[in-house]
Amino acid sequence: MKKKIMTGMMGILLVLPLVAVCGTPAATLASEGKPMVLGTTDKITVLDPAKTYDFYTWEVFQNIGEGLLKYKPGTTELVPGIAESYEVSSDGLEYTFSLREGLKFTDGEPLDAAAVKWSIDRVIRLALDPSWLVSAFVDRVEVVDTCRVKIILKEPVSFFPSLVASTPYLPISSESFPEDKVAEPVAGHYGPYKINKWVRDVQLVLEANPDYYGPAPRSEVFVVKFYKDAATMRMAVQTGEIDVAWKTLRPIDVIDLRSIGKQKVLEAPGPYIRYIISRCNRPPFDDVRLRKAVAAAIDRGRICEEAHKGTVDPLYSMVPMGMWSHIDAFKEEYGERNLELAKKLLTEAGYSKDKPFQFELWYTPTHYGDLEADVAAIMKESLEETGLMKVTLKSAEWATYAAEYIAKGTMPIFLLGWYPDYIDPDNYTSIFLHTEWSPDMGVFYSNPEMDELLDQARVRVEIEERTDLYTKVQKLMAEEAPVIPFFQGVLTAVVQPNIKGVVLDPVMLLKYYLIYRE
């Protein structure tokens, strides 16, 4: 008898799934109240504005939070956020922001001048990865009255308003966040959405924040599904399980989906750039001729066409295309590619066919997508085409690469990528080229002329003057080649045909609150 019961139970367990398939049509989900679902292969690293320093988590924060100023969707124009207006003192050192009245965090605490001060002070005090975005510029914050807060700078910074729009400046509630350590509460923010539920790396459920001053989000409930791999996400958008497939589908999938034509493929140039960094303070790349030889020999066209199937564009400056002051500096200096020049420089440096220049080129295999190994391989081939270079490819996982190898200067030459912290040419130049910060990026480059240009460009307010300075910066950068840009990314989202409001803009942080179903 026992045996029969067992067999029966096993039978039920096995048969049940089949019944489920036959019993229900696939379309039961398509009802009125269906939430908007976005898929991504990115992840929320740490949900605290004082600690997070990655692009995806910043995107989440721009939807559950709002800065004193914010970007107008689709543009890089700054408009009032939780501050209605602001004034700048004549010396450019004091910014006084007037907050909107009666705002409340999602935990019920008031969002006033004291809260803004507390949040900014906390970022400085914790001194974590993104803290420099505050501490390098802000001297102190003062509360003028409940609704007015004054930020006093160390020195005038022409792009300070765009810094204020970045995540480390977001106000958070002192009730939900502890003062002296990192935490990840799901309440205590203020923005168009609030968090309903968050299961790390599985899903994030957002719902409209009823206390938000501005227009309500176009979709009441917004769900983010986190995928482990791009192939699964591609199939999920193909079957309609998700409405929007966001970062990052593989180029081959994008091309495929476009040719099938059932979903819309949206694309926009993004200020995401890729480049090579040389360690400039130690052999072999302290020799400028070798850096220039690499700059002349790399084949940007092949990287874009072969590895990325034409979904990215060759880039000839660290300042991305489409941003003011951009010039094709490396193209002017070396042409699209110049193998003869590379050979000449290497010969001058004492290398020959019998005694080629040997070095290790480093890359990280997954952080920049599955294609990185291909990119590195093409890079190696294009350098070895000179006949005078012998490249050994080496790789390390991102965590080790970023946290240990870069700052320690372990790697003589390596591939890296950049998403902007704030939308200004300064963010694409100073950090790599200024004596003070370039060691942080593993460049270890120092040139007083360059420092002077960058310092000047920081404090000048007139855009013509700044453009002129950044043009000089880019020319000098191409001459000395401490960093060598090779392509600029394109933002791609694949959406269902009835989805509207997916705005891909140069700020690159997707605004969930604009997305809706027609």
CA-to-CA separations, 192 to 113, 119, 207, 347, 364, in angstroms, rounded: 20, 19, 9, 60, 36
Binds other proteins (CB under 8 A): choice among 440, 449, 452, 479: 440
- Contact by Cβ (8 Å): 463, 436: no
Question: Which residue stretch of 289-297, 343-351, 396-404, 424-432 sits at the interface with other proteins (rule: CB under 8 A)?
Answer: 396-404
Under rule CB under 8 A, residue 6 binds other proteins: no
Q: How far is the CB of 17 from other proteins (least distance, A)?
A: 5
Tell me 100's DSSP state: P
Render 357-382 in DSSP notation, one character per residue. EEEEEEE-TTTT-TTHHHHHHHHHHH
Buried b (16+ CB within 10 A) or exposed e, 473-506: bbbbbbebbbbbbbbbbbbbbbbbeebebbbbbb
Least CB distance to other proteins at residue 239 (A): 5
**Selection from 386, 376, 360, 369 nearest residue 278 by Cα:** 360
Calpha distance 280→346 (Å, rounded): 17
Q: Report if residue 30 touches other proteins, rule: CB under 8 A.
A: no
Shortest distance, position 127 Cβ to other proteins, whole Å? 6
Tokens 């191409």 belong to residue: 478
* Residue 433: partners with Cβ closer than 8 Å, 6 or more residues away: 443, 445, 447, 450, 454, 473, 477, 482, 483
- At closest approach, how far in Å is the CB of 412 from other proteins? 19
Least Cβ distance, residue 235 to other proteins (angstroms): 5
Range in contact with other proteins (rule: CB under 8 A) among 113-121, 123-131, 368-376, 447-455: 123-131
- Segment interacting with other proteins (CB under 8 A) among 163-171, 238-246, 466-474, 490-498: 238-246
* 194/472 with CB nearer other proteins: 194
Q: Can the peptide bond before residue 248 be classed as cis, meaning omega within 30 degrees of 0? A: yes
Element (H, E) at 116: helix 113-126
Interface pattern 73-112 for other proteins (x via CB under 8 A): ----------------------------------------
* Residue 328 binds to other proteins (criterion: CB under 8 A): no
DSSP 2: H
Assess 129 for contact with other proteins (CB under 8 A).
yes
Contact residue for other proteins among 241, 287, 306, 451 (CB under 8 A): 241
Q: Which of 16, 144, 461, 463 binds other proteins (CB under 8 A)?
A: 16
Residue 415: both structure tokens together? 């591939």
Kindly state the smallest distance separating residue 410's Cβ from other proteins, in Å. Answer: 12
Contact 62, 160 (CB under 8 A): no
Site pattern 194..233 for other proteins (x: CB under 8 A): -----xxxxx-x---------------x-x-xxxxx-xx-
With CA atoms as reference, report the closest residue to 65 among 96, 38, 105. 105
Integer Cα distance of 222 and 6 in angstroms: 44
Q: Report if residue 48 touches other proteins, rule: CB under 8 A.
A: yes
Least distance from other proteins to the Cβ atom of residue 371, Å: 18
Give the interface segment with other proteins, choosing from 8-16, 74-82, 101-109, 331-339 (CB under 8 A): 8-16
Count of residues touching other proteins (by CB under 8 A): 58
Whichever of 17 and 215 has its CB closer to other proteins, that residue is: 17
Min separation Cβ 184 and other proteins, Å? 5
Bridge partners of 203?
Answer: 199, 225
User: Which residues of this protein are in contact with other proteins, per CB under 8 A?
Assistant: 10, 13-14, 16-17, 19-21, 23-24, 26, 29, 35, 37, 43, 45-46, 48, 51, 53, 127-129, 131-132, 182-184, 199-203, 205, 221, 223, 225-229, 231-232, 235-236, 238-239, 241, 397-400, 402-404, 406-407, 440
